[in-house]
Structure 1
């Protein structure tokens, strides 16, 4: 697999990573044995960047990766996220230095490793200056517990404040054919700082694959059941984009997932998609995007198929949207 670097001086990583959130139930039930087999097949297929979070499955996601990847630790770049905690009202930001120190030690235990290659602050805590949170992460770097620092869902202004405390190697945020908000401010800021953009939900949480239809009922526990973008009139409008993408993919003898990922790969070597899946067939389809080279005509046709405003509907419910730094 082609490789790139995670930031100007970061580790070499595969151009496609693997997002692991769905392996512990965020999109309904997941088979742990199939999830483990998917991780191992990804590794043998050249994937080196594996992404998780301490709040995915309340730690179960990190435990799964730790169990499967511990024997192969030197071959992989492990990335995890922290900075939120679960309450009766749901997840809330938690960016105090004391919380981050404790969370790091817990993640190290679950991941069965002595260091985390990339440690992301998942959300900015409005009660804690970002300089304090990043300063705590910088101390973890100095202690050898963390290799590189990343942020998730931040504004360009917050990114620059954080970078002034310690170099930020990557920002992880949603980026796909129909969610391009990063192109206005975040991506230019990252490029000026020599940091990478790690694109999560590059397949629109499954909708851009064509697997969801107007009559689809989400399983219990599926995040999409509560997000406006994936329901009602918004979903129907967005499926029209998927239909257009499917027709374009058929003309290239490809699937819509491959087209959507190839489009992202064409945005630059500093854009690293991390499509998530817990199933090997989906993994294979995603990885086939590595061999799909889109022409200028292809890219123009794809852009023309997606409205300038992108997808309709908010990508999160009100509570989660309120946690995003803007």
Structure 2
């Protein structure tokens, strides 16, 4: 599950992109990279971050995003600015008011993030807890504090490499889109309720969440390389290729079988990506019925037979790569 957590949270979680590592794809033998590229090419819309969806006189601009701060976002924003300015509504995964709503929820119900019946050292192998403690210290998180966090939240922390900590103040592409819309007086709406992702994690058993931590620790020593590779893949319009790389890397971990990897990837993709994609389509179409809409969300939501692009296409929308002048 590390593969999903890494790819998902680095595409949808804010952090400072300050890692120095190697691009694993560029270092890979040609035949291995070709195999990954072939696997990625099997799904619809596997390339490209920006699309235009049209149906009759309706239009939706789709922007697949990367939430880490990166200077390359500046060029994307220049190119996207006309589409944002023309929109009647801007849709994002988390709207401007969602952070306040989340804080209110945590204040009312701390168990969303805090273990109330045990601690991580009590439910983890001592050796694993020692490794986790060291990984958390490298991120500036005291183990005694982290010991009470829900395991899924620890996984999210591990998905942000130590080289990206502390979390920076810079904005990823979603934040830049929100800022641009608000400066133009364009309404910004959330694609889903603010607690959607929390409810998904709540459905995972504690053992499943601990397994996520275990898988994350297995790849901890290459976190900077994964971050660099993911960023480069995103800006090349190849986020699905990174997904296939992480699938291959997970398969190479000790104790993992093809059946285990297939099952874990399918379960997490359904929970974290596909189910949300399906729920978003009605929100997107409702917004487009009122005028041009602009939607920004994690790039991993675009590709695939049940990616946002293919789901819209199946409902009569024409998808075209967004051409920048």
User: Same fold per TM (> 0.5)?
Assistant: no
Higher strand share: 1
Flag the structure with larger Rg: 2
User: Which protein has greater RCO, CA pairs closer than 8 Å, 6+ apart?
Assistant: 2
Question: TM-score, length-normalised on structure 1?
Answer: 0.25
TM-score of the pair, normalised by structure 2 = 0.25
Structure holding more helix per residue? 2
